[in-house]
Chains A and B, each alone.
Chain A
Amino acid sequence: MILAVLIHAVFFGFLTAWLAERKGHRVSSWFVLGVALGALATLVLLLQPDEAVDAAHDPAR
């Protein structure tokens, strides 16, 4: 059972990190969140706006 939890945690970690890189967010942080929260972190990341879009709309950057 522990092995199954670890396998799924690693999968969601890589999935979240891959999506974070595509959206321009910090990969390491989202990888940890994906391992810890699983699918929930992935869903939260999907709701986040892209960092590249935010940088374009923010005049201060």
Chain B
Amino acid sequence: MVAAPRPRSRILSTGLLLSGLTVAAFHSGFPLGCAITPGARVEKLPVEMPLPSGLPDELVLSRSPSLDGLTVSDALVGATSTSTVRGRRARIQRGTSLEILFERPGEAPAVIEGAFVGLERSRGWLLLTQDGDTLEYVDVEQVRELTVRGEAPSGYIGRGVLVGGLSTAVLSAATGAVLVASMDDDVSQAIAGICSATIGGGASLVALGVGAAVGNAQAQDARPRYPHPIAPGAWSIDPEPPAAPPAPPPPRRPIEPQADWPDLLPSQYAPSPSVPPTPPAGLEPAPAPSTPPTVLEPAPAASPTPSPTASASPTASPSPSASASPSAVPLSPGDEPGQPRLP
């Protein structure tokens, strides 16, 4: 006569059956496994390399006003994303991951991927980097399509890890339970349990890595892309950089006539921090001011007044060893006649 199963045993059996079915449904692609966060942001890569100061860090695409009927992506990607598309302008900031379809004369169209660095207006080059150290360039005239790559969904890798690791763990646990139950004595059961745990643990770790790799590959294929065809009737790259705020003027210290001018002049004429560094070769520097050097007349000894032209450009390099003619520089009340003065 079979004893009636206790309520607790019935509850455990029912719970085990239902949870097992749920796990099986999860692994078989049931909607329960849709723990995937769809990517809604653009992918941004770090760009850490010395760049010219005049290189704009934003690329602006404009859409033709007559393109309202065509299918062009016009979604706002993320609240704080690095690239935004609003209306008829798309702004792509430095670091945004791009896929550029370009076509050189006489060659087949090709695709280059990388992070956007800047737009070299003087040469008409679109600069990007693939490894963060070297720059690649594409002629703007040869660009046929700019595709902004979105972030890969974050759930794929986790799902791959779970599918691979937990599935193997469940399978190894079930195998180990059957193996242990088939043993007669405790020692054999212990040995079987240890062996199954060791083998199952190792297999689970391997499956975790494989699952992560598979999930990552799936995520790369599933990431959203926002194409911007560059064509006369579609998007166009704005040649002018976006309006930048006016740079504040460099601080200018008033130069007072001092008795020890030779000691103060080197620091007063030191370049201010706001002065941009010298651009690399290839980039035309800004034209230097064409103000000719002013020959100062000797100021009268009765009323010494500081000459306004004495406040020279902050970029002028001092030359303490320059033998300036004493007659070319006004004498201040503290100076002795005949002493060499620095211009």
Partner of A38, one of B13, B169, B189, B190: B169
Check B26 against A21 for contact (C-beta < 8 Å): no
Check B26 against A14 for contact (C-beta < 8 Å): no
Q: Is B221 an interface residue (CB 8 A)?
A: no
Residues from chain A with Cβ under 8 Å of B32 in the complex = 3, 7
Partner of B197, one of A17, A27, A43: A43
Encode B161-174 as 1/0 by CB contact (under 8 A) with A. Answer: 01000100110110
Give the A-B pair count, Cβ closer than 8 A.
80
With an 8 Å Cβ cutoff, the count of chain B residues facing the other chain is 35
Complexed CA–CA distance, A7 and B20 (Å): 9
Complexed CA–CA distance, A2 and B37 (Å): 12
Residues from chain B with Cβ under 8 Å of A49 in the complex = 186
Q: Is B33 an interface residue (CB 8 A)?
A: yes
With A17-B12, A21-B8, A46-B180 as contacts: A2 and B35 at CB distance below 8 Å: yes
Check B162 against A5 for contact (C-beta < 8 Å): yes
Check B180 against A47 for contact (C-beta < 8 Å): yes
Closest CB in chain B relative to A54 CB, distance in Å = 10
Q: Is B15 an interface residue (CB 8 A)?
A: yes
Q: Is A15 an interface residue (CB 8 A)?
A: yes
Partner of B19, one of A11, A46, A47: A11
Encode B83-112 as 1/0 by CB contact (under 8 A) with A. Answer: 000000000000000000000000000000
With A42-B177, A43-B193, A47-B193 as contacts: A18 and B172 at CB distance below 8 Å: no
Interfacial residues of chain B within 1-22, with CB under 8 A of chain A in the complex? 8-9, 12-13, 15-16, 19-20, 22
Q: Is A10 an interface residue (CB 8 A)?
A: yes
Residues from chain B with Cβ under 8 Å of A14 in the complex = 12, 15-16, 19
Closest CB in chain A relative to B79 CB, distance in Å = 23
Interface centre among A7, A17, A38 (most CB of B within 10 A): A7
Closest CB in chain B relative to A20 CB, distance in Å = 9
Closest CB in chain B relative to A50 CB, distance in Å = 9
- The main secondary structure of chain A at its interface with chain B is helix
Closest CB in chain B relative to A13 CB, distance in Å = 8
Interfacial residues of chain A within 3-53, with CB under 8 A of chain B in the complex? 3-5, 7-8, 10-11, 13-15, 17-19, 21, 27, 38-39, 42-43, 46-47, 49
Q: Is A1 an interface residue (CB 8 A)?
A: yes
Check A15 against B159 for contact (C-beta < 8 Å): no
Complexed CA–CA distance, A46 and B197 (Å): 11
Check A39 against B172 for contact (C-beta < 8 Å): yes
Check B169 against A39 for contact (C-beta < 8 Å): yes
Partner of B159, one of A1, A18, A19, A43: A1
Residues from chain B with Cβ under 8 Å of A47 in the complex = 180, 189-190, 193-194
Beyond A1-B159, A39-B169, A42-B173, 5 additional contacts (C-beta under 8 Å) are A8-B162, A11-B16, A18-B12, A42-B177, A43-B200
Residues on B facing A (Cβ under 8 Å): 8-9, 12-13, 15-16, 19-20, 22-23, 26, 32-33, 35, 155, 158-159, 162, 166, 169-170, 172-173, 176-177, 180-181, 186, 189-190, 193-194, 196-197, 200
| 10 tightest Cβ-Cβ pairs between the two chains A and B | A11-B19, A1-B158, A14-B16, A39-B173, A14-B15, A47-B193, A39-B169, A18-B12, A46-B180, A4-B162
